[in-house]
Homo-oligomer: A and B are copies of this chain.
Amino acid sequence: MTYCLGIINRFGIVLAADSRTNAGVDYISTYNKLFDFSLPGERAIVICTSGNLSITQGVINRLHRDLQSQEELNIHSLPNMYEVTRYIGSKLRQIQDQDRPWLERDRIDFHCSLLVGGQIRGEAPQLYLIYTQGNFIQATLETPFLQIGETKYGKPILDRTLTYDMPLEAVAKCALLSIDSTMKSNISVGPPINLVMYEAGTFMARQKLQLRLGDPYLAKIRKLWEDSLRRAFESMPNIEWQHPPVEDNQQEDILID
């Protein structure tokens, strides 16, 4: 599995990804899943990938090739983020067309998804999630984050804390903790963590971070976080226990509500 996360708010975008891939617990490897396709000064574009690695690597490879061979349509030539996302989706469809019959025949999982976040001059920052089928959705104010891969462990912290007006540094810490929580609870998600913080209007992905296993910063925030969690529920008001039984063993089952 994988866990990638994109968050957008009024100050910009944060994208983060773990680096673990696995084909069964006896075949675990490390691959980068966060790719920066920015053209500094004109556009910032960062992509995170999850799912079948041969397919997502194929997509990234084709994006690079179109750039290098100066195809008319490429990630730097397209005029807006919507068209860029459609173009990436079309590359995904090409690879699916090419490989899916072979994968389906052997019942190999062909699912994958991508996050695309960034900003092109003349537009506001945007964040998209592209599905296996090449279609996509966009993050909006109401739900300012998108997740792919192993999404459940790291969702509560996002649901509880993210706001549209939160400083981007706080958003970045929140993203790190969301990934770190997932890593701690599920071995299919693992380090290094790659993180990009994009400030709206800068048109380049300036703030980047890679946290490897044993990184002192990662160890420090993990320790601080665990201490905070423990203190938080220790400081919670005591439970007022009720003494009537939840269910009496002498009765038939009753509906409580």
Interface residues of A (CB under 8 A from B): 19, 30-32, 34-39, 57, 60-61, 64, 67, 152-157, 159-161, 169-170, 172-174, 176-177, 181-182, 184-186, 192, 194-197, 205-210, 212, 217, 220-221, 224-226, 228-249, 251-257
Contacts of A30 in B (CB 8 A): 255-257
A148 to chain B, nearest CB (A): 15
- Is A253 a contact of B169 with CB atoms below 8 Å? no
Q: A30-B257, A32-B246, A61-B252 given; name 8 further pairs at CB < 8 Å.
A: A32-B254, A57-B253, A160-B226, A208-B244, A209-B240, A209-B241, A225-B236, A228-B231
With a 10 A CB-CB cut-off, give which of A19, A185, A237 has the most chain B CB atoms.
Answer: A185
- Is A210 a contact of B155 with CB atoms below 8 Å? no
- Is B239 a contact of A176 with CB atoms below 8 Å? yes
- Is A174 a contact of B246 with CB atoms below 8 Å? no
Residue in B closest to A217 when the chains form the complex, CB atoms: B240
Residue in B closest to A191 when the chains form the complex, CB atoms: B257
- Is B153 a contact of A155 with CB atoms below 8 Å? yes
A12 to chain B, nearest CB (A): 13
Known contacts A153-B152, A156-B181; is-contact A161 B252 (Cβ 8 Å):
no
Known contacts A169-B239, A256-B192; is-contact A36 B245 (Cβ 8 Å):
yes
Dominant SS among interface residues on chain A: mixed
- Is B220 a contact of A224 with CB atoms below 8 Å? no
- Is B35 a contact of A253 with CB atoms below 8 Å? yes
Known contacts A30-B256, A156-B181, A255-B31; is-contact A208 B241 (Cβ 8 Å):
yes
- Is B232 a contact of A32 with CB atoms below 8 Å? no
What are the nearest 8 A-B pairs in CB distance?
A: A228-B232, A152-B152, A156-B181, A30-B257, A32-B256, A207-B241, A173-B233, A155-B185
- Cα-based distance from A160 to B231 in the complex (angstroms): 12
Known contacts A155-B153, A237-B220, A239-B176; is-contact A229 B19 (Cβ 8 Å):
no
- Is A32 a contact of B247 with CB atoms below 8 Å? yes
Contacts of A252 in B (CB 8 A): 61, 64
Known contacts A19-B256, A185-B152; is-contact A230 B34 (Cβ 8 Å):
no
Which of B156, B176, B206, B234 contacts A184, CB < 8 Å? B156
- Cα-based distance from A152 to B3 in the complex (angstroms): 13
Residue in B closest to A240 when the chains form the complex, CB atoms: B217
- Cα-based distance from A242 to B229 in the complex (angstroms): 28
